[in-house]
Amino acid sequence: MPIKYTYLEIKKITNGFKDKLGEGSFGSVYKGKLRSGRFAAVKLLGKSKANGQDFINEVATIGRIHHVNVVQLIGYTVEGSKHALIYEFMPNGSLEKYIFSREGSVPLSNEKMYEISLGVAHGIQYLHQGCDMQILHFDIKPHNILLNDKFVPKVSDFGLAKLYPTNNNIVSLTAARGTMGYMAPELCYKNIGGVSFKADVYSYGMLLMEMVGRRKNLNALANHSSQIYFPSWVYDQVSEGKNIEVQEEPWNMERKQRKR
């Protein structure tokens, strides 16, 4: 089970929130160091709509998750409106920078991308079928896939996740959840109603498209208007019986030329 920390302890762990790693949809993330010497990622949440007991119940559920492809929750803080989560530290950051970044990161090989895609799939399947409760993530995207020192992928950021009994095939939502470009179509309807784990599967498919194309699915700067929305372009190519040739990004071609 996760360890409960005081807010003062969190401040000490992060050295006064000195080293900011990034910012997500539900809070800022800071690098910290535990008493054991182990590094950790401390996510300081914004003002939560849920009450303290709901937060603790959710922590208790996520804290029981143990899977190689899901980031491990180490501890938490809940003091009034101050909520924080402490996760294992992922030194290689998010998958996002290895797909889209033009500078500062070494492109991953197709073989490594394939391994990462399998790992993410295993993590999502575990959330849906391997826990006491069915966990629907609702925000699968490159930014939320973290990589450890061996580039093993971990599904992270459960800020939008919902927990349901495992026998519930369809769950009810009253508002859209997720990031545009990755959200399943049924999440964009005015009256959402029932959704299922397939919403995460759709987001995973969009993630795969970006991993294969090494580009964002939506690119307003594409050379041809037909390629602005990558999934539509791929669909058209397949429908017409054409081969799908993904053009290598100029920044990657330049790197190869420099190595020669």
Q: For the segment 87-131, what is each residue's pLDDT rounded down to a tens digit?
A: 999 999 999 999 986 555 678 898 999 999 999 999 999 999 998
Same domain, yes or no, for 78 and 105?
A: no
Same domain, yes or no, for 80 and 188?
A: no
Q: Which residues are annotated as a binding site?
A: 43
Same domain, yes or no, for 133 and 190?
A: yes
Q: Which residue has the higher pLDDT, 244 or 216?
A: 216
- pLDDT of amino acid 217: 83
- pLDDT of amino acid 213: 84
Mean pLDDT, range 152-165, rounded to an integer:
88
β-strands 162-165, 133-136 pairing: antiparallel
- pLDDT of amino acid 253: 47
Long-range own/partner contacts, residues 28-31 (CB < 8 A, 24 or more apart): 31/89
Structural domain contains residue 132: yes
Averaged pLDDT score across all residues of the chain: 84
Catalytic residues: 139
Percent composition of the chain: helix, strand, coil (DSSP 3-state, to 5): 35, 25, 45
Indicate which CATH number applies to the domain containing 56. 3.30.200.20
Same domain, yes or no, for 80 and 97?
A: no
Same domain, yes or no, for 177 and 150?
A: yes
Same domain, yes or no, for 45 and 108?
A: no
Question: SS3 for 200?
Answer: helix
- Number of domains making up the chain: 2
- Which range among 12-21, 79-88, 140-149 shows the weakest confidence by mean pLDDT? 79-88
Q: Which residues are annotated as a binding site for ATP?
A: 43
Q: What percentage of the chain exceeds 90 in pLDDT?
A: 46
pLDDT of 223 higher than 80:
no
* DSSP notation for 111-152: HHHHHHHHHHHHHHHHHHHSSSEEEE-S--SGGGEEE-TT--
Domain that holds residue 40: 10-88
Mean pLDDT, range 189-205, rounded to an integer:
83
Q: Each residue of 126-136: pLDDT tens digit?
A: 999 998 889 99
pLDDT of 258 higher than 60:
no
Same domain, yes or no, for 97 and 84?
A: no
Q: Which pTM value belongs to this model?
A: 0.84
Q: Each residue of 42-84: pLDDT tens digit?
A: 999 876 555 666 677 678 778 888 999 999 999 999 998 889 9
